[in-house]
Structure 1
Amino acid sequence: MEQKIATPVEKGLIISLILIVIGLVLYFTNQYTNKTLGYLQYLVLMGGIIWGCIVYAQQMKGNVTFGNVFAHGFKITAFVAATLAVYTFVSVKFIFPDIIDKSIEMMRAEMANNKDLTEENIQTALSMTRNYFVPFAVGGILVMFAILGAISALIGAAVAKKNPQDPFGQPQM
């Protein structure tokens, strides 16, 4: 019986669901502003993509090249980035709109500590942030996940066991 090869979409869906669950846990425990815990999502993303690359090479029984494995990993990245961008848009715009206000208040507190900023400068910056929060959040996810995903796909392609076979070569005896 032939082994089914897991697609990048299937692996990306698993990684996306894990990232969404982590994000929800951070939100409901009021830890979403904790930058250290926020990095956990990046580690899960990178680990998931590396795992996906290694599993792909194993499922292909090593008959892959570096480029094949990297492409598979980057397809996973693209799916995860697109899924999380849509999720972020929907959650910030409709499910958790209060996160904008909470983020603005956190920024206000940080800016108030800066003696170089006047109240007018702070108000202007916060107003701009409020107006462009959703596009910056979605864009940030797309850019950051693309960069981290490319790095992870490179690492995954490098560590995956590869033994490509020449389809035109002489069979080994």
Structure 2
Amino acid sequence: MDQSTVKPNKIAFQCALAYSLYTVLLTYALFFMGIDVNGELSMGTKVMTWTLSYLPFLGAVFYAQKYHRDEQLEGYMTYGRGFTTGFRVALISGLLIGIFMVLYYKLLNTAAFDAVMNKTEETMLNNNSMGDEQRETALEITRKWFPLMILVGSIIGMAIVGCIFSLIGAAIFKKEKPYTIPEVTEE
């Protein structure tokens, strides 16, 4: 089968959706356990949250690449196709998770948004180079643009990590189709 006719869009979307739903569940699990990922965390908690966040993401990228190669491309996949498959998972995940995070902070858990703003204000108060007027302006801009910043930050962050994971996965799952010399028939 020609790789240009089969696109990884469906499997990339499915893997991104599954990972995004997992992230929603993880967000609420951490919330109910009283772990504030925006606050000060011990090294053990940071490692735990990082592992719980990124190992499943790595799994989603690798699964999409392997599935696309084995089930959709008859067992063969170029490095570039493997990379784009994984990168699609990352971009879609970033968008879905970004939308969720905007909803989470602005509608579902406004206390978390208030905590982020309080921490931002505290950081600004400790910054002696800012005057009161500058601080108020900065806080107002942060409040206004926070949803867009979190959406764009999520997309960019997932794209960067996804790029790394996709490069690794493409190297692992790449399997070039052997070149065969066409038989010449004499007439």
Q: Given the two structures, how large is their TM-score scaled by the length of structure 2?
A: 0.73
Relative distance call for 1:44 and 1:120 in structure 2 (3 A) is farther
Structure 1 unaligned regions, length at least 5: none
Report the counterpart of residue 115 of structure 1 in structure 2. Answer: 128
SS at match of 2:175: coil
User: For structure 2, which runs of at least 5 residues remain unmatched after alignment?
Assistant: 1-7
Contact 1:58–1:161 under 8 Å retained in 2: no
Identity %: 23
Worse overlay, 130-139 or 95-104: 95-104
Superposed CA RMSD? 2.7
Distance 1:109 1:43, change over 3 A: farther
Cα 1:136–1:79 shift into 2, 3 Å = same
Matches within 5 A, 1:69-108: 69-108=82-121
Shift of 1:103: 0.5
Q: Which structure has the larger Rg over C-alpha atoms?
A: 2
1:87 counterpart letter in structure 2: F
- Shift of the 120–134 alpha-carbon distance from structure 1 to 2, 3 Å rule, reads same
2:30 to 26, 29, 38: 26
Number of corresponding residues: 166
Superposed CA offset, 1:56-115 (max 9, x none): 434456411112211211221232122212222322232222322110101122222233
Residue 64 of structure 1 is matched in structure 2 by 77
Using the alignment, how far apart are the partners of 1:145 and 1:42 within structure 2?
10
